[in-house]
Structure 1
Amino acid sequence: MLKFFRKIRKGLVEERKISNYALYAIGEIVLVVIGILIALAIDNANEQHNKREKEQVYLIGLKKEFETSQIKLKELISVNKRSYKDSKTIIGFMQDPEDLPNEEELSNLFYNAFAFDISFNPNNSLLQEMINSGSLKDLSNPQLRVLLTNWISNLEDITKQEAMLDQERNQIINMFRTNEYSIKTIYDLTGVSGDLGLSVGKERLSNLTILKSTEFENNMLMFILTSITTETMHYSPLMQGMDEILATINSEIRE
């Protein structure tokens, strides 16, 4: 097309038709501008396409991470629930001295209540990478960006709550590190000694007397309160938040 205009222009110049030459010169400029605009539009379309494809990769990765984190949280809620339920059972025995458990039953209650740390460890590697690299802005849905940012803040609050719960648990466990009570008895009667390759003792120090301790009862009550608060005020809202994040992610993923 440009060759055609140049040929006409040459002929016009030779014929000294200046006005017509100017008209065709303008037409040539217009064609060049149109060509540039078309090229820019194509580049922009390609860039937008690449951004959308990149966003889809992020969305699929985030979906996998949050689905895995949700499974972890469900299991953690179950462990925490068993922990405070068995703790409440122990408190119940303390309220009725005429109906005490045997040593093996009490050992199993102690083990289920205090043997497991309560700590949420979500899969956040991709999300952290996106935040550190500034790629969170590549997500086109502003609501999703807000939800993901709030998610990080909520995790920080939960870490503090779990530290409080761990402190209350240690208060109770430390009572068994004295000469009055026996961790070995709990290990023997719950099968932990065998799992650790330890010999089972023939004589055991009873832990039943701890049910008469006011200090133990106070520590137990604080532990139960902190455990239930961790579930109701932190884990349950976090689970709801994950449901919302996953629903939003799913709405943005192309089929």
Structure 2
Amino acid sequence: MEKPTFAKASSGSKTSKYFKYAIGEIILVVIGILIALQINNWNENRINNIKLKSYLTEIIKDLKNDTLSVNNSINLAKRRIKTTKSFLALTDYNALTIDSLEKSLETFYSEVPFSTSTFKKIESSGITNFGKYEDLIERFKIYYTFIIPNIKGFEGTQNRAVDIEDNYWRYNQNIYEFSYEGDLASYQNKEEARKQLIQLLQSPTARNILKIDYRRNIRNMERLNRLNGQVMQLIEATETELND
């Protein structure tokens, strides 16, 4: 009766050993998978980090181009403010040529070209983990998806107003015939045209248009100056991150 008992004990011992061996193999496989995943994640993060550094280097160039565009628009607004203020202060237009008088009533679009190509590359890169650049990327998102569209919205409002004003000069007023191209015949002779143009420029409607444009350019310049400061801060922050 002892032999069967020994056989059962021996069989149970072997099963236990096999079970422990199988568990050990599973653990080793799981550890191997985890290590492989960790290495894969590390490689992916390393590659993404290299890409991000390249993107950040390019985005600095984009931002510097933006500052050039913004400064050009600021300078145009400054010149327009100065010209309009000087013209509105005049009480005698007789010393001005017809060309100068015509130019004095022009209002202009505000159009700042922004460089957005690199940010679009970041958006389409598929990178979701930005690591130490996370905060910087969030600032870029605010700049490209909120600040720039906000500026474009103001531009759209200004440019629609310019269209309305342009329509007044072209189609609504009916006392002055614009020369436009010098080789086109005019029904009004030069003396009559000059007289009518001065009369038009002295009218409340014409002066109000110029005053509104003056105020609009001041606000636009203030807005662009603030924007320029924000862009310069972004450039500085990006350069600091790249140099760390």
Aligned to 2:234: 245
Q: TM-score, normalised by structure 1?
A: 0.68
Amino-acid identity (%): 20
1:215 matched to 2:205: yes
Aligned to 1:103: 96
Distance in 1, matches of 2:94 and 2:172, equals 18
Aligned to 2:159: 163
Q: 1:186-235: per-residue Cα shift (whole Å, max 9, x none)? A: x6xxxxx5xxxx5899x633233434322221222122112212222x32
Q: 1:85-123: per-residue Cα shift (whole Å, max 9, x none)? A: 111111011xx34xx45233x734653762753222222
Where does 1:1-255 land on structure 2 (aligned, <5 Å)? 18=14, 27-93=24-90, 96-97=91-92, 100=93, 102-104=95-97, 107-108=99-100, 110-111=102-103, 114=106, 116-128=108-120, 130-131=122-123, 133=124, 137=128, 139=130, 140-141=134-135, 142-167=138-163, 169-170=165-166, 173-174=169-170, 178-184=174-180, 198=183, 204=190, 205-206=193-194, 207-232=197-222, 234-253=223-242
Cα distance 1:200–1:146, how it changes in 2: closer, same or farther (>3 A)?
A: same
TM-superposed CA distance for 1:172, in Å, is 6.1
Cα distance 1:236–1:109, how it changes in 2: closer, same or farther (>3 A)?
A: farther
Higher RCO structure (Cα 8 Å, ≥6 apart) = 2
Q: Give the 3-state SS of the residue equivalent to 1:122 in structure 2.
A: coil
Distance in 1, matches of 2:104 and 2:115, equals 26
TM-superposed CA distance for 1:43, in Å, is 0.4
Q: Give the 3-state SS of the residue equivalent to 2:212 in structure 1.
A: helix
CA contact (8 A) 1:161 1:230 kept: no
CA contact (8 A) 1:69 1:123 kept: yes
Q: Give the 3-state SS of the residue equivalent to 1:102 in structure 2.
A: coil
TM-superposed CA distance for 1:60, in Å, is 2.5
Cα distance 1:143–1:224, how it changes in 2: closer, same or farther (>3 A)?
A: closer
Distance in 1, matches of 2:37 and 2:122, equals 28
Q: Give the 3-state SS of the residue equivalent to 1:222 in structure 2.
A: helix
Distance in 2, matches of 1:127 and 1:53, equals 16
CA contact (8 A) 1:164 1:226 kept: no
Distance in 2, matches of 1:138 and 1:112, equals 55
Q: Give the 3-state SS of the residue equivalent to 2:112 in structure 1.
A: coil
Count of residues paired in the alignment: 221
Aligned to 2:6: none
Distance in 1, matches of 2:20 and 2:129, equals 46
